[in-house]
């Protein structure tokens, strides 16, 4: 399995948890504040953008880690 595929799998597993957390918490907070449906959907869109940014950051770090693993370099150096 290539390093890119391993990094994608690691990213998907971590970002899936973040997406569920951000989506649920955004919906719960805005519902408790009695926000209208367009406001809730806008909040979900903003949470989705935050998850996308997190996904890019996590993927870059996972890819760098996979490169180090393939080269046999420990992370403490």
Domain chopping of the chain, boundaries: 3-70
Q: Is the pLDDT of residue 6 over 60?
A: yes
Q: DSSP for 2-63?
A: -HHHHHHHHHHHHHHHHHHHHHHHHHHHHHHTT--HHHHHHHHHHHHHHHHHHHHHHHHHHH
Hunting for tokens 């150096």 — which residue is that?
77
17-74 pLDDT, tens per residue? 999 999 999 999 999 999 999 999 999 999 999 999 999 999 999 999 999 998 886 6
7-18 pLDDT, tens per residue? 999 999 999 999
- pLDDT attached to residue 72: 84
| Single pTM value for the model | 0.81
Cβ atoms of 40 and 23 closer than 8 Å: no
Compute the half-sphere exposure of residue 33: CA atoms within 13 Å on the CB side of its CA. Answer: 12
């Amino acid at each position: 399995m290539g390093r890119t595929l391993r990094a994608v799998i690691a990213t998907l597993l971590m970002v899936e948890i973040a997406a569920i957390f951000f989506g649920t918490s955004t919906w719960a907070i805005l519902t408790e504040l009695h926000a209208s449906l367009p406001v809730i959907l806008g909040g979900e869109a903003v949470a989705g953008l935050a998850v996308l940014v997190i996904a890019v950051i996590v993927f870059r770090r996972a890819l760098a880690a996979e490169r180090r693993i393939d080269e046999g370099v420990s992370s403490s150096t």
